[in-house]
């Protein structure tokens, strides 16, 4: 999915996995937009931040065309704008900045205390066994390409089964081996960063996704990548929500490698609306 087809010097085509979705998963579009942008940058410059807006729902049956604009190449930084089109309309656009590695100050927040090892946390399949009637909700929110191990009650359990302030943390890793290309790992992390982030808004209220709960859509997404990492190795996604109002919720997340290093930070606002049972 991340191996885009080059149609021209700055134009690429991306396809969607053949799954039953009404719209394209936002993390997919963002990840592909980053790959398109990164392929126009010198390989010694790695992405350190990206900011994107979801403009229209994506059609999973139609390829996505990505057009990359070269904003600037300086001595240390390169900036690109990557725009995704379907049906001749913009569905997503992203600004991404790439940086040549430099030595400098170094500190980060500590790894959360009392977090169990990922191998001791139930798999999605094990959690699913308790709620067979919620399979449709889970299928829409948890692609199998990523192994997700929820530490608390996830957002797809039935209404009433989730406590208020449920721990919105999860271990994640790509369920397979990725090539060594840092751009592919950055894109995979971008994809994963959209999986559970808005769930932190619901967790604050003990709310759930799907019938009897809430439906949502990402509005914008920002990601900062701090240190080298591999997306096919375990990382902890620790999320929280500072605000919800006006049918929108704001969530932030910290990603820690298993060795305790803070590798990335994310912020997202989403549209959240109640639906009936």
Q: Which residues are catalytic?
A: 194, 218, 268
- 49/40 Cα distance (integer angstroms): 16
Residue 7: its H or E element: strand 5-8
Non-local CB neighbours of 107 within 8 Å, separated by 6+ positions:
none
Compute the C-alpha angle 234/53/149, nearest 5°: 20
Give the C-alpha distances (Å, rounded to integers) separating 63 from 4, 34, 45, 84, 189. 11, 16, 28, 10, 22
Instruction: State the DSSP H helix or E strand holding residue 253, giving kind and residue range, or none if neither.
Output: strand 248-257
**3-state SS class at 255:** strand
Closest CA relative to residue 268, chosen from 208, 203, 200: 200
Residue-wise over 11-34: b if at least 16 C-beta within 10 A, else e?
Answer: ebebebeeeebebbbbbbbbbbbb
90: phi then psi, degrees, rounded to nearest 5: -75, 130
List alpha helices for 39-181, DSSP H: 124-128, 135-141
């Amino acid at each position: 999915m991340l191996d885009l087809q080059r149609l021209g010097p700055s134009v690429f085509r991306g396809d969607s996995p053949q799954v039953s979705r009404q719209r394209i998963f936002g993390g997919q579009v963002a990840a592909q937009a980053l790959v398109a942008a990164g392929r126009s940058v010198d390989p010694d410059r790695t992405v350190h931040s990206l900011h994107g807006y979801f403009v229209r729902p994506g059609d999973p049956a139609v390829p996505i065309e990505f057009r990359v604009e070269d904003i600037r190449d300086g001595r240390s930084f390169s900036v690109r704008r990557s725009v995704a089109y379907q049906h001749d309309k913009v569905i997503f656009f992203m600004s991404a900045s790439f940086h040549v590695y430099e030595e400098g100050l170094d500190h980060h927040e500590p790894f959360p205390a009392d977090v169990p090892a990922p191998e001791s946390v139930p798999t999605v399949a094990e959690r699913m066994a308790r709620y067979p009637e919620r399979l449709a909700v889970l299928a829409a929110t948890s692609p199998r390409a990523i192994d997700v191990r929820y530490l608390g009650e996830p957002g797809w359990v039935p209404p009433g089964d989730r406590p208020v302030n449920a721990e919105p943390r999860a271990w994640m890793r790509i369920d397979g081996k990725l090539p060594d290309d840092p751009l592919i790992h950055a894109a995979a992390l971008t994809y994963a960063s959209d999986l559970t982030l808005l769930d932190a808004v619901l967790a604050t209220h003990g709310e759930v996704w799907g019938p009897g709960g809430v439906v949502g859509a990402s509005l914008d997404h920002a990601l900062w990548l701090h240190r080298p990492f591999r997306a096919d190795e375990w990382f902890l996604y620790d999320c929280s929500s500072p605000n919800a109002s006006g049918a929108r919720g704001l969530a932030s997340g910290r990603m820690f490698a298993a060795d305790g290093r803070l590798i990335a930070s994310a912020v997202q606002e989403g549209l959240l609306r109640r639906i009936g049972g």
